Structure 1
């Protein structure tokens, strides 16, 4: 074994975070485009332009979400079981909304009836907004604490309700998610389309970017002043065989800020979120959407890592029985499993990145209404 157990536990926390960031940057961009589709496209041809900017990429981008789910299942099986039990109906809501995307992309243009196409346009809108909202609300609930506990057999029991998931703070987190992905999608459309769609996208990039900054700031203030966090008071050695019930966890005010107090360099993460989004807006307004897309991606990364750094080492904190909380050090698979998965990731993730980059490079162009008219056979 090249890495000891403790190091592998941390490596997989980082790798899962990378997969979630990859999903937000790529497939989140597609969701943002879907969210804007009914508003930026004023007629059928313009909406086909918008759809064709992501048509060649959306299904490949969705692989990031599937891979992240598989990684959580393999690396953190107890987290997977507990989270998907507790968030079952919310996950089904997101899943059913995601169903509208492949069907909408494939069947929207098969029939020329305006009512048919309009219905699928709104279906793609739902497929973009609802999953983004649900994922953000889920992150908000992690910071609030999830009402579940483990019995002596380490079986998880969820005691909350679907309605309780929509706590006001969780809704703010959901707004952050929707706004930042909409910003990503708007800047992408500004980059890949011509006027008048590009000009409309620039306006929406400004609106969504400012909403992201405002909601992110509000969530941070609320988290620091009004929400109790969790802290590990005692636990076995970090490399020990996982046993979630072998630790002691306390519920304390401002505990989510502890890592920022103890490691001031982590303040770079929220700074990256604010600065990245601010630069994205500025670059978009200056008609430099390429730079804006890079800045927006960095802003997304900063926002996601801000939440991860605040919670570390917690993955799924329990609000009803804090000692049942699942953390990086005790929610993982065996040393052998993590090692095999590490080498699989080391081989295949670079291949996926290389292939994704190649597809974007080969299909990089502005999509125009004239192209849609000349090539009416286009799938989208």
Structure 2
């Protein structure tokens, strides 16, 4: 079966969205646990309990991020190139923070020195906090537009220097988006700890999940109002056929207030995304109160998927809007690779994704169960 170019462009928009959501749910959980580590673990044994809830899985979960980056590079090369110019310093900051995770997990328990172990606990905290915050900041800046443009030869030019590129990204709306990202990932990690640990760690995680869930709901609502009344969105006025070869300058785009909400008028079913976002997080809070963390974890995952989908749907068909020259904005229809490239990648996903999901499910099944202080003392099935 050969899919037409227009269909493949849309499919890859969905697939990359799924990869980003999968990363947020799987590796976001690990990052959330890392952020909570110095606070929920009052003793070294409790901290080892917390680490061992994610220790066997964190590196596999991080593959979601690597896969998403590779997919963007192959499916949307123009987005990859322009984004690295605009977010170069932010991406380096995330990369350096991520360095702490493998080293922290592997080295922490090698030496029985409280100062040594405490230092690596805070390193794991940084390795979870910085990426969780910066990813949200990046989404906040996408909604406002990135200062780049294409010349007549379709060469991307970014306005700003390398050393000063980070500060403009830390604007108020982007920081609010960063708070949403950080709060929902840490909440998700707290839901996981409720499942995999016993009191008192699980009780502390329960309290954190309840409060952070309320923070996510309030911040998400505030961001929605800000998008509606405080920043300009982008709207395509004219464009070539959707199955035409990629050419970002062949369309006309305008920036106007409220444009990011237009999809909820043209495709009313899209309103399900923010409803699922609010509903999933609130349900997770309720289930934490009722001490049903298993269902709460599923609700939290649905809420995160709804929040991320809300951002993606609101921007559709834009992927990387340009605040410098709206016509240079990259969309689902003019950013992708060739028809052949998208086709080969699509069939690779069809063949390999079920295998990856099956293997991941098997790993979680084989290493399931609560991690306890007694188990840590006995040294059974613990490596960290």
TM-score calculated relative to the size of structure 1? 0.99
Corresponding residue SS for 1:237: coil
* Structure 1 residues 370 and 9: CA distance shift in structure 2, 3 A: same
Task: Supply the distance in 1 between the matched residues of 2:212 and 2:96 (Cα, whole angstroms).
Answer: 25
TM-score calculated relative to the size of structure 2? 0.98
Match of 2:247 in 1: 243
Match of 1:9 in 2: 9
Task: Supply the distance in 1 between the matched residues of 2:195 and 2:253 (Cα, whole angstroms).
Answer: 48
Give 1:269's match in structure 2, choosing from 273, 276, 281. 273
Task: Supply the distance in 1 between the matched residues of 2:380 and 2:116 (Cα, whole angstroms).
Answer: 17
Corresponding residue SS for 2:82: helix
Match of 1:253 in 2: 257
Taking the TM superposition and a 5 Å limit, the aligned residue runs for 1:1-380 are 2-160=2-160, 161-375=165-379, 378-380=382-384
The unaligned stretches of length 5 or more in structure 1 are none
Task: Supply the distance in 2 between the matched residues of 1:158 and 1:117 (Cα, whole angstroms).
Answer: 42
Q: How many aligned positions are there?
A: 380
Residue by residue over 1:102-141, the C-alpha shift from the partner in whole angstroms, topping out at 9 and shown as x without a partner, is 0000000001110110000000000001001010000000
Tell me the C-alpha RMSD between the 2 structures. Answer: 0.9
Residue by residue over 1:13-53, the C-alpha shift from the partner in whole angstroms, topping out at 9 and shown as x without a partner, is 00000000000000000000001001100010000000000
Residue by residue over 1:51-78, the C-alpha shift from the partner in whole angstroms, topping out at 9 and shown as x without a partner, is 0000110000000000000000000000
The unaligned stretches of length 5 or more in structure 2 are none
Task: Supply the distance in 2 between the matched residues of 1:164 and 1:336 (Cα, whole angstroms).
Answer: 38
Corresponding residue SS for 2:157: strand
- C-alpha displacement of 1:377: 8.8
Corresponding residue SS for 2:262: helix
Task: Supply the distance in 2 between the matched residues of 1:104 and 1:86 (Cα, whole angstroms).
Answer: 30
Task: Supply the distance in 2 between the matched residues of 1:248 and 1:317 (Cα, whole angstroms).
Answer: 12
- C-alpha displacement of 1:376: 7.7
